[in-house]
Structure 1
Amino acid sequence: MDELSTPAVASLRQAQNIIIEHSLDRISAAHPWYRTLPEAPRRQIESVARLGVTMFVDSVETPDAAVMPSRIFNVAPAALTGTITLEQTLALVRTVLDVVVDEAPQVVPAQDHNAVRILVLTFGRDVGFAAAEVYAHAAEARGAWDARLESVAVDAMLHDSPSDAASRAGTAGWRGTGPVVAIAARTGLDAMATSHLRHTCRQITTDSLVSVRGDSVIVVLGGPPTPPSVRPLKSRRADPDQAIDKVALEVAGKLDAAAVIGPVVAGISQAGRSLRSALAGLRALPGWAEAPNPVHADDLLPERLLAGDELAAEQITALVGRPLHVMGSPFEETVATYLALGGSLEATARTLFVHANTVRYRLGRVSEQVGWDATDPRDGLMLHMAVIISRLDADSDD
């Protein structure tokens, strides 16, 4: 880098304060948003501009001394990075740089004009990089803190009361009151992949929490609340649940790993139920080698029950056992007998003293009303579990 003559350095030092004042005037005139800032941030920005010009003159006066452009931002607290954006900061740097480029050559001897321009531009480039580094560190710190808050919120869903879980989620930035669903996946994500996952979730749904735990990741997604005007309509009331479940399938599908989606629950205070179901499903997943990926936790209820998940018994009763019982004893008995006899229509008909078509009709009605088809091996397993749980419950009540 070319060194300036002694008279040039003396002239810059003499003109330093005037250049600073002109820079501040240009900032105020060129950037309307600057004038709307509170007084404290404006004073901090002024301090940064003053120190920047001063450090430039210092650097040309003692070129052998190590100059750290990042020191310019030491006079402004880290909170300033949350007040103005990196783009705005670089715009301020450019404005001050323009003033120095315009005025500094005018105060030095003619032979130093080109040298001072080169020095100004080089110093301005370094300041720009320093600003980007300051904002990068601030963003990294905020990201680490946000990740910690999200993990604490997820822990609260698993271990604390519903009200505490909702409070922790609010601290982590959760805003909505709509349906919620959890995803548990067996995958290890580095910082870049985790950041990309958070960005993906925030792009496609209202609220999200991401917690990475060693070789697994937990995602909690929230959709918009149901508009009050449509709540009385049952068919429409299910739409938000279906929408957030669809989002969960999309997110889980992008994880490129074994993923289990919990049931949709009404709100963030109940998210623990969805999360526990998803985690139980992930633990039980090896029991169903043919399971699709991603898979819903409710589709893994037989495996979850065998793995000792208490929620599985409740869910099988709610989804299968109770609706089957409501249909009446002929239907319940037909399903139980059909499954006990290995799926034989004729043997079931003989045992129940009915026609085979009656058995076929009853099984069809159960498939329509309950949602599981006894003639399908996988659905039959679910129904068989429901029958066993129902009998055990009845025996324990006696």
Structure 2
Amino acid sequence: MDQLSPSTVTALRHAQNTLIEHSLDRISTAHPWYRTLPAASRDQIDTVARLGVTMFVDSVGEQGGTADPSGIFNVAPIALTGTVSLEQTLDLVRTVVDVVEEEAPDVAPAADHDAVRVQVLTFGRDVGFAAAKVYARVAEARGAWDARLEAVAVDAMLHDSADDAATRAGTAGWRGTGPVLAIVAHTVLDAMATSHLRHECRQYVQDCLVSVHGDSVIVVLGGACAPERPVDEPTPESELAAAADRIAAGLDGAVVIGPVVPGVAQAGRSLRSALAGLRALPGWADAPNPVRADDLLPERLLAGDPLAAEQIQVLVTEPLRAMGALYEETIATYLALGRSLEMTARALFVHANTVRYRLGRVSQQIGWDATDARDGLVLHLAVIVGRLAAAPTE
């Protein structure tokens, strides 16, 4: 790079204060958002601009010397990066460079005009890269801190009280009070992939937490609160479940989706159900992927998951009993006799069409069809769980 003559360097030193003042005037005029900043933030930006011009003049006055533009940002606290975005910072750098590029050559001899412009543009480029590096370091540190907060929140959902779980989630940025569900995937994600997943989740839902645990990834999703809606419109719970389906479909490996729960304080129930489903998944060789934890109730129950026993009672046993003893007896007899309509009808002293009618009502009412092998297994276990729960204890 061409060196500037001593007379040009002297002229730039004499014009230094003028260049600084004109740069600050241009910043205030060209960027309305700058004028809305707190006085302390404006003072810090002014200090950075002054140091930048000073460092440029010093650098061109050093024969063969080099300046480290990143030192310009050492005078501003890291907290300023949370007030002024990288885009705004680059706009400020561009404004100062424009002023110096326009005015600095005018104070130098004509022979050095082009050299001064090259020096200004080169220094401005280096300052821009330095600013990007500062913001990248801050973003990396902030991302690592956020990831730790999310991991702590997820751990609280698994092991702490509901109130503690809600508090930890709030610390990690959770703001909503609507329905929640958890997704667990047996996959490995690096920091970049985890950040991408977090960004994708926020395209679909109001709140999310993403935490990597060894070879598994845990995602907790939160939907909006339930406003008054027409009957035919989707509910927040159904919208959240649909969003979970889309997100889960994009994950590699085995994926289990937990049940929807009322709020973040109950998120642990959905998360524990999903984790139990992932552990029990090998028991169902033909399971779809993704699969819902409630579709793995038989495997979870046999694996000793206490939540599965509770859930099968809520989803199947209690609705079946609410239909009446005849329906429960018909289901139990039909399944015990190998799903034979004729044998069930003889055992109950009714017509086969009556058995068929009762089975259809149960399927319509609670969603499990006794004539299907998989649904029949769920119903059979539900009957057994109900009988065990009703049995007197010594």
TM-score normalised according to structure 2 size? 0.97
How much has 1:35 moved relative to structure 2?
1.3
How much has 1:394 moved relative to structure 2?
2.5
Amino acid at match of 1:302: P
Q: Secondary structure of 2:391's partner? A: helix
Equivalent residue for 2:184?
Answer: 184
Q: Secondary structure of 1:59's partner? A: helix
Q: Secondary structure of 1:263's partner? A: coil
For residues 174-201 of structure 1, give each alpha carbon's deviation from its aligned partner in whole angstroms, at most 9, with x where no partner exists. 1111111111111111111111111111
Equivalent residue for 1:278?
Answer: 274
Q: Is contact 2:12-2:57 (8 Å) kept?
A: yes
Amino acid at match of 2:388: L
Amino acid at match of 2:86: L
How many angstroms apart in 2 are the aligned matches of 1:216 and 1:365?
41
Count of residues in correspondence between the two structures: 394
How much has 1:63 moved relative to structure 2?
4.0
1:252 aligns with 2:248: yes
How many angstroms apart in 1 are the aligned matches of 2:125 and 2:218?
42
Equivalent residue for 2:140?
Answer: 140
How many angstroms apart in 1 are the aligned matches of 2:39 and 2:176?
34
For residues 51-87 of structure 1, give each alpha carbon's deviation from its aligned partner in whole angstroms, at most 9, with x where no partner exists. 1111111111114334211111110011111111111
Q: Secondary structure of 2:256's partner? A: strand
Q: Is contact 1:184-1:216 (8 Å) kept?
A: yes
How many angstroms apart in 1 are the aligned matches of 2:295 and 2:345?
30
Q: Is contact 1:252-1:259 (8 Å) kept?
A: yes
How many angstroms apart in 2 are the aligned matches of 1:117 and 1:249?
57
Alignment of 1:114-193 (within 5 A): 114-193=114-193
How many angstroms apart in 1 are the aligned matches of 2:361 and 2:33?
68
Equivalent residue for 2:355?
Answer: 359
How many angstroms apart in 1 are the aligned matches of 2:193 and 2:131?
25
Q: Secondary structure of 1:88's partner? A: helix
How much has 1:96 moved relative to structure 2?
0.6
How many angstroms apart in 1 are the aligned matches of 2:117 and 2:16?
15
* CA pair 102-237 structure 1, distance change in 2 beyond 3 A: closer
Equivalent residue for 1:69?
Answer: 69
1:395 aligns with 2:391: yes
Equivalent residue for 2:265?
Answer: 269
| Superposition RMSD in Å | 1.4
Equivalent residue for 1:302?
Answer: 298
Q: Is contact 1:226-1:237 (8 Å) kept?
A: no
Q: Is contact 1:16-1:54 (8 Å) kept?
A: yes
Q: Is contact 2:183-2:256 (8 Å) kept?
A: yes
Identity, % of aligned positions: 72
Equivalent residue for 1:316?
Answer: 312
Equivalent residue for 1:9?
Answer: 9
Extract unaligned runs of 5+ from structure 2: none
Q: Is contact 2:185-2:252 (8 Å) kept?
A: no
1:386 aligns with 2:369: no
How much has 1:236 moved relative to structure 2?
6.6
For residues 274-304 of structure 1, give each alpha carbon's deviation from its aligned partner in whole angstroms, at most 9, with x where no partner exists. 1111111111111111111111110000000
Q: Is contact 2:184-2:216 (8 Å) kept?
A: yes
How many angstroms apart in 2 are the aligned matches of 1:152 and 1:63?
54
Please point out which of 286, 291, 297 is paired with 2:287: 291
Please point out which of 370, 375, 382 is paired with 1:374: 370
Q: Which moved more, 1:357-366 or 1:235-244?
A: 235-244
Amino acid at match of 1:126: D
How much has 1:395 moved relative to structure 2?
2.6
Q: Is contact 1:184-1:217 (8 Å) kept?
A: yes
How much has 1:173 moved relative to structure 2?
1.1
Q: Secondary structure of 1:378's partner? A: helix
How many angstroms apart in 2 are the aligned matches of 1:257 and 1:63?
60
How many angstroms apart in 2 are the aligned matches of 1:133 and 1:396?
69
For residues 300-342 of structure 1, give each alpha carbon's deviation from its aligned partner in whole angstroms, at most 9, with x where no partner exists. 0000011110000000111111111122222111111111111
How many angstroms apart in 1 are the aligned matches of 2:159 and 2:64?
60
How many angstroms apart in 2 are the aligned matches of 1:215 and 1:24?
53
Q: Is contact 1:179-1:265 (8 Å) kept?
A: yes
Q: Is contact 2:186-2:252 (8 Å) kept?
A: no
How many angstroms apart in 1 are the aligned matches of 2:87 and 2:196?
22
Q: Is contact 2:20-2:49 (8 Å) kept?
A: yes
Q: Is contact 2:187-2:217 (8 Å) kept?
A: yes
How many angstroms apart in 2 are the aligned matches of 1:396 and 1:289?
36
How much has 1:150 moved relative to structure 2?
1.1
Amino acid at match of 2:299: E
Q: Is contact 1:363-1:373 (8 Å) kept?
A: yes
How many angstroms apart in 2 are the aligned matches of 1:96 and 1:160?
53
Amino acid at match of 1:248: A
How many angstroms apart in 2 are the aligned matches of 1:117 and 1:169?
53
Alignment of 1:323-362 (within 5 A): 323-362=319-358
Extract unaligned runs of 5+ from structure 1: none
How many angstroms apart in 1 are the aligned matches of 2:247 and 2:165?
23
How many angstroms apart in 2 are the aligned matches of 1:238 and 1:129?
48
How much has 1:237 moved relative to structure 2?
9.3
Equivalent residue for 2:103?
Answer: 103
